[in-house]
Amino acid sequence: MRGRQFLFVPGPTNVPDRVLRAMHVPMEDHRNPDFPNLVLPLLEDLKKVFATKTGKTFIFPASGTGGWEAGLVSILSPGDKVLLSRFGRFSHLWGELATHLGLTVEIFEEEWGSGANPDRIAERLKADRSHEIKAVLTVHNETATGVTSDVKAVGAAIAAAKHPALHFVDGISSIGSLDFQMDSWGVDVAVAGSQKGFMLPAGACFVAVSEKALAHGMESGKNHRVAHAYFSLTDMLTNNAKGYFPYTPSIPMLHGLRESLNLLLEEGLPNVYDRHHHLATGCRAAVKAWGLKTCAVADHWNSDTVTAIVVPSDADAVKVISHAFRRYNLALGAGLDRLAGKVFRIGHLGDLNELMLLGAISGAEMAMHDCGIKIELGSGVAAAQASFQKRTRPV
């Protein structure tokens, strides 16, 4: 097949040419005296994306899953109770990981298509007078259902409950794409992945940790902590202080991150978030024009990085995805777990513009149409175009 594939899964996302070029470098000694000139500004600029001034940022050579692990093992102790709101595949997996690491996970099941419930969390924390709950775990953007939780409201709930629980946030498919304010929202540990809004290949995760969480981790460490080594924040801190790493980092990823941060900061983070909202709005207009619905149980849950589209009950989303891939060179995201066959997902995060998304929407239309779903060709495109045209500035 000729031409470029239209990659519209919610990660890995398209890596911009500038970033790919920046990664095409000869190796160098990661202990050389010039190396900190590369590393230290990366750690500083990451803070801008997390919007933290008082926290520390970390770069691990690992997938986002490793970021989850790094956050938990370095801060908490075996058996610690954590409160997790679960409403999709990735919140589910995060809970499993925490369990494997020896934590006790109390789960709030929320309806798939909704997100974390701040009131419920506040209530539970208020009831927890013994402060048994050490951390609240919130998935900012549930990639599986295309839903964004109100992290700020959860933070406010914790604060309102006057509970010392730390707030851990999975921002893998949000940070760098959706507004995120670590300090002002009171987030203690935030995890981002390279292959989403950072527009890099997978293979690096970025973790930001508040002073409170670091102090908590030091305290845990005095007694006992979850056994760990690779994901040690302490070893990282010690080495990072001088601009080095405890083990060999991926040189290309560091150079790629440099360029990715350049891109984000050149565009301006508010503009980045605005662009994602603009594209997502167009995508949702297309869904509406098709006469279909997203997974979100109410509009305000809809994510600006991924749209999960429910196909008619007599249709098979798996076939649509497979046909889109084979016939139109369009990669759509599958429905996961209980959504398998019922949903396909259009990721619209990272290095994207309107015409790329319109190409994907037109491909989704043809794929659905070919699979017998009653869709008027061009209808979604027209709706998205009308949405896009309202903006006079280029994205």
Contacting residue, 135, 191, 226, 295, with its own copies by CB under 8 A: 226
Cα 323 to Cα 333: distance, rounded to the nearest angstrom = 13
Give me the least distance between CB of 299 and its own copies, in Å please.
Answer: 23
Give CA 313 to chain center in angstroms. 29
For its own copies, give the closer residue by CB, 273 or 301.
273
Give CA 234 to chain center in angstroms. 24
Cα 309 to Cα 317: distance, rounded to the nearest angstrom = 9
Contact yes or no for 8/330 (Cβ under 8 A): yes
For its own copies, give the closer residue by CB, 27 or 298.
27
288-to-122, 293, 294, 381 alpha-carbon distances in Å: 35, 7, 9, 11
What amino acid occupies position 354?
E
Residue 270 binds its own copies (CB under 8 A) = no
Cα 140 to Cα 147: distance, rounded to the nearest angstrom = 8
Mapped onto helix, strand or coil, the DSSP state of residue 344 is strand
DSSP of 62-114:
S-HHHHHHHHHHHH--TT-EEEEEE-SHHHHHHHHHHHHTT-EEEEEE--BTB
Give me the least distance between CB of 328 and its own copies, in Å please.
Answer: 6
Contact yes or no for 13/7 (Cβ under 8 A): yes
Give me the least distance between CB of 161 and its own copies, in Å please.
Answer: 29
Residue 257 binds its own copies (CB under 8 A) = no
For its own copies, give the closer residue by CB, 209 or 381.
381
Give me the least distance between CB of 67 and its own copies, in Å please.
Answer: 9
Select from 80-88, 94-102, 157-165, 302-310 the region that touches its own copies (CB under 8 A). 94-102
Residue 322 binds its own copies (CB under 8 A) = yes
Give me the least distance between CB of 240 and its own copies, in Å please.
Answer: 15
Task: Write the interaction track for its own copies spanning residues 186-215; mark x where CB under 8 A is met and - where it is not.
Answer: -------x-x-----xxx------------
For its own copies, give the closer residue by CB, 54 or 353.
353
Residue 373 binds its own copies (CB under 8 A) = no
Contacting residue, 249, 273, 278, 295, with its own copies by CB under 8 A: 249
Contact yes or no for 162/141 (Cβ under 8 A): no
Residue 386 binds its own copies (CB under 8 A) = yes
Residue 152 binds its own copies (CB under 8 A) = no
Contacting residue, 36, 43, 45, 63, with its own copies by CB under 8 A: 63
Inter-helix orientation angle 354-370/317-328, to 10°: 120
Cα 151 to Cα 180: distance, rounded to the nearest angstrom = 8
Give me the least distance between CB of 204 and its own copies, in Å please.
Answer: 8
Q: Is the dihedral of CA 194, 198, 199, 200 positive or negative?
A: negative
Select from 18-26, 44-52, 141-149, 176-184 the region that touches its own copies (CB under 8 A). 18-26
Residue 118 binds its own copies (CB under 8 A) = no
Residue 246 binds its own copies (CB under 8 A) = yes
Select from 44-52, 121-129, 210-218, 355-363 the region that touches its own copies (CB under 8 A). 355-363
For its own copies, give the closer residue by CB, 114 or 174.
174
For its own copies, give the closer residue by CB, 158 or 287.
287
Residue 138 binds its own copies (CB under 8 A) = no
Q: Maximum Cα–Cα distance for the chain, whole Å?
A: 64
Residue 381 binds its own copies (CB under 8 A) = yes
For its own copies, give the closer residue by CB, 117 or 195.
195
Helix H or strand E encompassing 159: helix 151-160
Cα 44 to Cα 38: distance, rounded to the nearest angstrom = 11
Give me the least distance between CB of 3 and its own copies, in Å please.
Answer: 3
Give me the least distance between CB of 91 and its own copies, in Å please.
Answer: 15
Residue 250 binds its own copies (CB under 8 A) = yes
Cα 185 to Cα 119: distance, rounded to the nearest angstrom = 16
The H-assigned helical ranges of 16-63 are 17-23, 35-50
